[in-house]
Amino acid sequence: MTGWTEQDVPAVEGKVAIVTGANVGLGFETTRVLAKRGATVVMACRNQQKANAARDLVLSHGVAPERVRVSALDLADQGSIEAFADEIKAEYDSLDLLINNAGLMGLAESKTADGFDTQFGVNHLGHMALTLRLLPVLNETAGARVVTVTSFGHRPGRIRLDDPNFEQGRHGRWRAYFQSKLANILFTAELGRRLDAAGAGTLSTAAHPGYSRTELGKDDPGLRATLFSFSDRIVAQSAAAGAVPTLRAATDPDAVQGALYGPRMMAFGTAVPETPSRTARDAELAAKLWDLSMDLLAPAKVSW
């Protein structure tokens, strides 16, 4: 089983890619490498000031300015997702890569603009809505891929089919996070099955970064953020290394429908194919989550 490093990422000259949460961490590193390899990258970010600063940093690596643009996207707001997707479809007649990278981890209980649990709403429902809105242009592009970034935190995850937004049961920040990351894997698999059934050529793949030094999980001050900072220095791999599984999921010519890539040692190491948890391989659960998600997204008029 051969592992990839950044040097194994092939040229992607002329391809168009969208990276959500591209202004920091894994998203920034993914953007940097794709742009250096020749892609035109749309940095889809909520904070435009930070996104523009990140774009300048990407350009400092010798990337031509026309290769990188910034566009507003708030995955916690279905209206923002619709506006972003409409903008992309108006400006591009092809889309080679959609990299669903943005995410939140370990947040206290809160709701999105549409009333979803924030972690479930952003990490899963936001990216699902974005993907479905962009599928028409993806499916018109030969060899297109959707890459959804998950976590090894999907392994303890459970889907609360009767209460995914914690409106009845007690909320737990890690319970909510693990659910959202399991949902990412189940969505990846079900999307792939539906693409194949429809005869579309688009691939749906997934990746996780292991334990990488990013800003994820440091939204809250105090002991937890301090512990993250300490363990980052001792254990974690760099964000650049953590982005390689995503880059492999996006560019490996041998990738297959539903493939998952992660670090060789789960937390760190070169990027290799990985087998998701047994729950994440439950096709019946994936179909149920899909139907539930479509019901939740119905007010946003997302169509498949």
Three-class DSSP labels, 108-171: CCCECCCCCEHHHHHHHHHHHHHHHHHHHHHHCCCCCEEEEECCHHHCCCCCCCCCCCCCCCCC
Q: What is the pLDDT of residues 142-164, one digit of tens each?
A: 999 999 999 999 999 999 999 99
Is the Cβ–Cβ distance between 263 and 245 less than 8 Å? yes
**Axis crossing angle, helix 283-297 with helix 127-139, rounded to the nearest 10:** 100
Model confidence at 223, in pLDDT bands (50, 70, 90)? very low
Model confidence at 36, in pLDDT bands (50, 70, 90)? very high
Is the Cβ–Cβ distance between 261 and 234 less than 8 Å? no
234 has pLDDT over 50: no
Q: Provide the pLDDT for residue 230.
A: 43
How many angstroms separate the Cα of 84 from the Cα of each of 70, 101, 253? 11, 16, 29
227 has pLDDT over 50: no
Measured CA to CA, the distance from residue 53 to residue 60 in angstroms comes to: 11
- Find tokens 């691939």 and name the residue: 203
How many angstroms separate the Cα of 265 from the Cα of each of 24, 29, 180? 24, 21, 23
> Which one of the listed residues 92, 177, 211, 261 is annotated catalytic?
177
Average per-residue pLDDT for the chain: 92
Q: Which two tokens stand for residue 168?
A: 């009845």
Q: What is the pLDDT of residues 195-214, one digit of tens each?
A: 999 999 999 999 999 885 56
pLDDT-wise least confident of 10-19, 59-68, 70-79, 231-240? 231-240
Pairing of strands 271-274, 260-263: antiparallel
Measured CA to CA, the distance from residue 193 to residue 276 in angstroms comes to: 16
Rg (CA), the chain: 18
Residue 142: beta bridge partners? Answer: none
Architecture of domain 6-300: 3-Layer(aba) Sandwich (3.40)
- Per the annotation, the verdict on 211 as an active-site residue is no
- pTM summary value: 0.93
